[in-house]
Structures are given as structure tokens and as C-alpha cells.
Amino acid sequence: MKKLLLFMISVLLLTGTVCAHGTISETEMNIGGINIGASLDYVEQIYRQPTKKSTVTYRNGVQYITYDYNALFSVNAYCTLNGFNGGTYVDGIVCREDNSSTPSGFAVGMPFKNVTAKYPKSRLMTNPQWVYGYRKDYAYYEYEYFAEMLIFAVDKHGIIKEIQCISNVSGE
């Protein structure tokens, strides 16, 4: 009985550690003033019209819209054909330019050690198909629910090359 109780406590402690690993504040889930769930109208207020706009419609009626502002900054959003809750909402931001940052000031071109000084526990992801060759992706999640992720793509010198803020819960 003692062994079973000890085992259960160990599992609970390990589970708590794993769940806390890789979490980050919800307020940090923002790049360049845009957060997941913002409307595309709000994005246009900040960044104006994109240089390129593409739309894909899926069989379930969801439209997926991409606003490309340049080769280094894009915003993705989704809506249903009749509007999802009356609008179109951001579910992804990709930034490879150094003039946009997270609320804590993390930006492309900075050492990743600046991020780990504030948020030490990230989750290492693998992504071999990256345009710049070598890359390690370090993900932080909103709480332990994995609803939103902030991903830092880091080169072999420890420099941030890309920041993504994406939702795991899209309209698709």
C-alpha cells in the first residue's frame, strides 16, 4: 500500500512538472501589437492593407485568410462563410523581421538566452523543413492547455530568426 501511494504521489508530481513545462503568460502571446483572436479589421487598422491577400475555403465552410505584408511578416485568420461570431479572427502570426516584438521585447535578431532568462522552460520542437537550414524551434504554451503557442526559431548561434504565435484551436 505504501509503495502504491508513493508511486501515485510521484506520478502526480511528475505530471505537475510536465504541465508547467513550457508555459508562458497569455499577455506574451502577441507579436507587433497583434494577438490571437484579434479581428482582421484591427490588423488593418495597425498595418493597413496587406501587399498580398489569399483565401482558401475548406469543405466545412471555414475560410482561411492570409495577409502577407512582406516576405518577413504575415497574419493568418479564419472565419466561416457567414462570419464566425460576426468576424474574421487571427489564429496565426509569423514574423521574421526585427522591427516587431512580443510585449516583453523579444524580437528577431536577439539572443534566445534573453527569452530563457525570463521563461526558462520551453519545449523543443523539431522542424527540418526550414528555409534557412539549421533551426531549433522552442515553444511556449498558454498555460498547460496548448491553446496558443509562441514559437521561437533559433539558429545554431542561438539567435532568434523567426517568432510565431499560433492557435491550436482554429475554426477548421
pLDDT digits (tens, 9 = 90+) for 57-80: 887 778 889 999 999 999 998 775
Exposure string for 21-49, b = 16+ CB within 10 A, e = fewer: ebbbeeebbbbbebbbebbbebbeeebee
pTM: 0.78
- Is the pLDDT at 95 greater than 50? The verdict is yes
Give yes or no for residue 170 having a pLDDT over 90. Answer: no
| pLDDT in the model for residue 123 | 76
Question: Is there a contact between 121 and 144 (Cβ–Cβ < 8 Å)?
Answer: no
Judged by DSSP in three states, 16 sits in: helix
pLDDT band at 25 (very low <50, low <70, confident <90, very high): confident
For residue 129, the Cα-to-chain-centroid distance in whole angstroms is 18
Single-letter amino acid code for the residue at 12: L
